[in-house]
């Protein structure tokens, strides 16, 4: 199972079978459609338009994690990478 930890809030936001399914769940929460791309920690910290993006840590782990279980997830899961989500309408 793929889990997203939001870098803005530090909480576990969504869990799904794939990264794409997780991105779609974030869109359902915000009522928007997102495209995503892999980023590095350096890219995230130095993004000029960071206010237009949502950044997440991606972990793969079995089980379910509550929003405030980010520490448990980071210990139990395997870190996969970072992803940035950008609203499709802001890409144009």
Look at residue 42 in the predicted model and tell me its pLDDT: 65
Phi, psi for residue 40 in degrees, rounded to 5: -95, 170
Q: How many CA atoms lie within 13 A of 32 on its CB side?
A: 15
Euclidean distance between CA atoms 52 and 50, whole angstroms = 5
pTM of the full predicted structure? 0.85
Euclidean distance between CA atoms 84 and 31, whole angstroms = 17
Span 64-76, pLDDT tens digits: 999 999 999 999 9
């Amino acid at each position: 199972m793929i889990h997203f930890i939001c870098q803005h809030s530090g909480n576990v936001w969504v869990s799904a079978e794939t990264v794409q399914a997780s991105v779609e769940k974030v869109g359902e929460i915000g009522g928007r459609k997102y495209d995503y791309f892999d980023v590095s920690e350096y890219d995230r910290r130095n993004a000029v338009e960071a206010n237009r993006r949502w950044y997440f840590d991606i972990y793969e782990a079995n089980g379910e994690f509550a929003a405030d279980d980010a520490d448990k997830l980071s210990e139990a899961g395997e870190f996969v990478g970072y992803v940035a989500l950008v609203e499709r309408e802001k890409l144009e």
